[in-house]
Structure formats: structure tokens, C-alpha cells
Amino acid sequence: MDVRPQRAYEDPAPEDGARVPVGGARPRGRARDAEGHRHTAGEHVRRAGEQAAALPQSDRRQLEELRFLHEVLRLATTARTWDELLSIVVDGTRDALGADVSSLYLLDRDGLGLTLAATNGLDRHQIGRARVPVGEGITGRVAASRDPMAIADVRSDDRFLWVRGIDQRRFVASMLSVPLSWNDQVVGVLNVQTEQHREFRPRDVAQLRAIADLLAGIVEKGRLQREAEAQVASLKALEHAQAELVALVTHELRTPLAVVRAYLDLLADAVADGSSAVPSVAEWHRLAEEQVLRLDRLVDSILASVRPGEETPIDLVPLDLGEIVDETLEGVGPLLRRHVVARDGPRGLRVLGDAPRLRQVLELLLENAVKYAPPGSTITIATGLHEGVGRLSVADEGPGVPEEWRERIFEPYARRAETGAARGSGIGLYAARRLGEAMGARLWCEPTEAGGARFVVALAAAVAL
């Protein structure tokens, strides 16, 4: 943004002693001079310019400096964003001092260093990265001493700290630095640099200090506002993550509970039949007990996830897809008792994955198929290799998923109203995708030839067949 001071001129006093409100517009028409003669607006500007030109050179320069400070203040207070504010600061400073480069460093919150916040001539990619320790280099010394420093030749001054990636010798010949102070605290350093040798005069120092004093409070308040907004955004993200965690945990707990409920139903049916000895009772008891143990493991995982510490990395190992399917079907068999389960694909296909997570993904996909496919229909579990990628899929003969919904169904709480009264929180497919992505797998939905839905999990093959 170009913030060079615009030419402005003093207005003569309003006629008849009338007052003009601050910021208000004068009535249209012709203005009167001291002798009562009327002039057009153009004549008024011309006469005001002549009056300003008649001032001594020192007064004219002081007037221009005041106008510039007023203009920078106006632009700075109307900046819409943090980046726009900093751009105004460095551009206005460079133009006011007739320099080639201007840069602004802000004091880190720990008070140990200053970080580049804005520049209009150096490497902009270093903004937010380049850091100068307090007390080192010209910038760091100014922050520590709170006194301005003017260096006529930085190449011969051992106090100058060359920052890799920032300072270029062709850009830096002379330098002037002043501190930004607000509430008696240094909050940053404002620098100007020239490509040609320049002796900065006391007037230059005073002018840059005036700019720094004018902008220090604005910059610091803008920074505090930006940090507050970032904290609010962080809190919102944390709140969203907590809600997501509760939803995922709720769904993870529901699946083994559903399996236990199914075994209890089988036991109740056996008792209702009046049979004194059911061959499968012991097996049902064993499988139900496994689901209870699974609940214990889930609770342990939840407790581990909320404790401080780093997340345990996922260990991807070669897995036999056929064995994963067998183990999963054994655990959730009762959920599928009202459907026909079909298997398709070669045996011995190995992929890279995490066994517990892959079983959870398959359980969620089977639960989804049971939920939407009519009783008595077939649920097909297939494995295969496609272009070097292992695939595990679950296909049903339910109502299918329209094309426009094939991505939306993986969003949390997404449920189609026209699918009927199928129970659920709308989090199962979202959880399945998240679990798959955690081990580098992809999950998507596609239609089947019969009109149902097929959910495909793609994993890296461990062995090329």
C-alpha cells in the first residue's frame, strides 16, 4: 500500500464566523478571501498552495512530516487485517525516511529474541522465521538499550549481525534502528536500510522515533488482538475435538455391546425353546466374554488417550487379509445371523496395516451393512489385488447410496433421512475412515451391480502377487 503523504492545504476561516464541524463538509459554492472576494474551489487550492510555499523551508518540511504522521495514523487505524497493518507500517516508514528497505521486528513473548514481522525489501519468506537474540546485532542492541542506533556503513561495523536468508550485502549499506515502546516496555524494533551510503542526521532519528512512538501502541494492540483471536480459534478447535472424541468413543463402545446383546438374545431364544442343552451355549459364552474384554481394552485406550504424552506411533506390519476377515466374522457373528454372508477373493493376500484397527474398520462396515440391508439379503466380503494395492470390501443389497452422498456419508453425524429409521449416531463411517487413514489406507463408497452399496478399503500390498 502506498502511504506517501497526500498534499493537503490549510483552509481559510469560514465566512461570517460560522463554525465548520470537525470532519464536516463545507457548503458548496465560492469561498471568500480576507478582502471578501469569492473564489472557486480550484482558486482556493491554488491560493492555499501559494501560502504553504511561502513558509520557510524548515517549517514546510515539519508540516509535511506532520501530515505524513497523520496519514500513517489514519491508515493504520483503518487497517482491516494484521498483515495490512504491518504492510502500512513498513511501507510508510520506508517512504518517510527516503530509504530502500524497512523492516519491523517484534519482541518474542519470552523476551529473549525478536522475530521478523514485516519487511518490504528483504526475503518475505523469512517473515515469522528470522530471529535476532536480544543484545546481539543492531536490532538486538536497540531492543536491549532502548536507544536508537544509526550506522553509516554496516559492512565495517562489527556490531551488525548478518542474518542468513535476510540481509543481502547489496541491500544494506547504511542502517537506522529505533525501538518501539509501549507502556514503558519495548515491544519491537523498527529499521530502515539504504543501498547507498548515507549519514543519518539527528532529524532522521527524530522522525523515525516519532513514527515508532506513534505506531507502537497500534502494533502491540493489533498483536494482542490477533493472539486473542488465535486462542479463541484454538479453544473452538479443542471443543470440536472433544466432541469428536466423545462421538467416536460412544460408537466404539456400542459395537461390542451390540455383539454381547446378540449373544444374550440367542441364549434367551434357547431358554424359550425349552431346550435343556444347547451345544453352542459354551461357544456363545466364550465369544461374549471376548467382547467384554474388548470393552475393557477400549476403556484403557480412552484413558491412555486423555493422559499427557506423545501419541503412540502406528506399527504397520504384513497382515493376511483372509485371517483378518475370519477373526472379525467370528467376533461379530451374531450381528449377521439374519443375513447371508458370502466370501470372495483369493486366500493368502497380505497387506501392510494395523490388525486391531483393520478389524475395527471391518466391524464398522459390517455393522453399517446390517443396519441398511434387508434381513435375508446377502452381505459379501471380498478381498483382492488391484494395480499393486490390496483391497478389502463389504457389499450389501440395501438401497444403495446416491452419487451426491458418497462423500457426505463419511462426515460426522451424516445420515440420510430417506433411509428409514435405522438406528445410529451417523458416526460409524466417519470413524471407519479415520481409523483407515491412521494406517495409510483409503476408504470409499461405490455402487454394486445390483444397486446396493460397496465400501472399499485400499491398503498397500505387502507382497506383489
The widest CA-to-CA distance across the chain, in whole angstroms, is 124
Expressed in angstroms, the distance from the first to the final Cα of the chain is 62
User: Which secondary-structure segment (H or E) carries 394?
Assistant: strand 389-395
Interacting residues of 129 by C-beta distance below 8 A, sequence separation 6+: 115, 116, 165
Q: How far apart are CA 135 and CA 142, in angstroms?
A: 8
- Per-residue pLDDT in tens (0 to 9) along the chain, 465 residues: 444 444 333 333 344 444 434 334 444 444 444 445 444 444 544 554 555 555 565 556 666 666 666 666 676 667 677 777 778 778 888 888 889 889 999 988 888 999 998 888 766 778 888 888 999 989 999 999 999 999 988 888 888 876 655 555 555 789 999 998 888 888 899 999 998 889 999 988 988 888 888 777 777 777 777 777 777 877 777 677 667 666 666 666 766 777 777 777 777 777 666 655 556 777 777 777 767 766 765 565 455 444 444 445 678 899 999 999 999 998 788 788 889 999 999 988 999 999 988 998 998 899 889 988 999 999 999 999 998 899 999 999 999 999 999 998 888 766 665 554 444 456 778 888 988 998 999 999 999 998 899 999 999 998 544
DSSP designation for 285:
H
Phi, psi for 246 (deg, rounded to 5): -60, -45
Of the candidates 452, 298, 321, 460, the residue with the CA atom closest to the CA atom of residue 380 = 452
Strand pairing of 340-344 and 378-386?
parallel
Distance of CA 271 to the CA centre of its chain: 58
Q: Which CATH number fits domain 38-227: 2.40.50.100, 1.10.4190.10, 3.40.190.290, 3.30.450.40?
A: 3.30.450.40
Q: What is the CATH number of domain 314-460?
A: 3.30.565.10
Domain ranges of the chain: 38-227, 228-312, 314-460
- R_g of the chain computed on alpha carbons: 37
pTM, two decimals, is: 0.43
Distance CA(339)–CA(332), nearest Å, equals 12
Closest CA to 456 of 383, 400, 405, 398: 383
Tell me which CATH code domain 228-312 carries: 1.10.287.130
Q: Where are the extended beta strands (E) located within 41-184?
A: 101-107, 113-119, 131-133, 149-151, 174-182
